[in-house]
Structure 1
Amino acid sequence: MTDFELPEEFDEENIISKTSIKREMHELQALGKRLTELKRNQLEKVPVSETLKKAIEESARITQREATRRHMQYIGKLMRGEDAEAIQNAVDLFDASSKAFAQALHSLERWRDRLIEGSNDCLTEYFEEHPNADIQHLRQLVRNAKKDVKNEKNTGAAKKLFKYLRMIDDMDNEVDA
């Protein structure tokens, strides 16, 4: 009998178990399933290849259980060639229970409060960070929200301001993608 000798470049620390490989594949497949549940306009904001995008769109027309299972495996296979971390981050922004979604909303709420309570310096700072914003429209929304606070009324001006800030944020995210 001959002894089995390991090559010199063999490194025990870099061995990946079959179980961890399977776990990673199941995670990619689960992420692919979440992609199939997104709306079309949300899917446009996720950084995926055209092949994966077509496979996700095709999954909507597959109804048979076994065919759906096989197609999810195919999507999982396509996910191996994608940047899973970037996709996960983009999907988390649509998931209301995710930390990223909450952070984005809190950031917008802070901007709204700063604009209402602050001076023109806050507006200038916002315009520098968000050049897509319509200056006149934003000034009008801020003016109306300040008037509500001053008169202790709630006409919905702060809510309109928040919606506009969210729209600007979405536009900026589309430009970045």
Structure 2
Amino acid sequence: MLPSRVVLASQSPARLATLRAAGIEPEVIVSGVDESVIVSDDPVVVATELARLKARAVAHRIKDDGALVLGCDSVLAFEGEVLGKPGDAATAVERWQRMRGRSGVLHTGHSVRLGEREISDDAATTVHFADVSDAEIEAYVATGEPLQVAGAFTVDGLGGAFVERIEGDHHNVVGLSLPLVRSMLAGLGVRWTDLWQTSRS
């Protein structure tokens, strides 16, 4: 089945860039979901439920049964805590001082909707952080980049030099697991390759 449109229910530039690089040009409609509504010690629950809420909110807003809506949300599981966006510089610095030289698991919840059908799942990637100095942490946080991303880091931006290695899907750390989404779409009867823009073929 070929959807009438593809909608990304996320304001993340990294997720949009990931889809575009993979040949898909989605519309972007921000869900407006309050991320504080899901409280759990389980990172899979937090990430997946928020992704589901975002996809549902946008699907209900556009009221197009032929639209394919993709919602995503990421959190970092670190030392028994579920870490979302730090929100302020002091929190980001404190997190990096704890994370440096250690590892955490980045979870991204994914939810795809087509009409009333919905599939949700979680992808997990282990991230090993470099043993960065206080000066490097301060300089990184001062850029503002880590303040609005889960776990206070990126791998596709300035923070890339502070991630020594990952175990799992690289794209998942960026915020959207392409292999997982392809598999989920297959469950809805949608072929990934049918979503490629003809201009790229």
TM-score w.r.t. the length of structure 1 is 0.29
Q: Which has the larger radius of gyration?
A: 1
- Which of the two has greater strand per residue? 2
Q: Identify the structure with bigger relative contact order (alpha carbons < 8 Å, sequence gap 6+).
A: 2
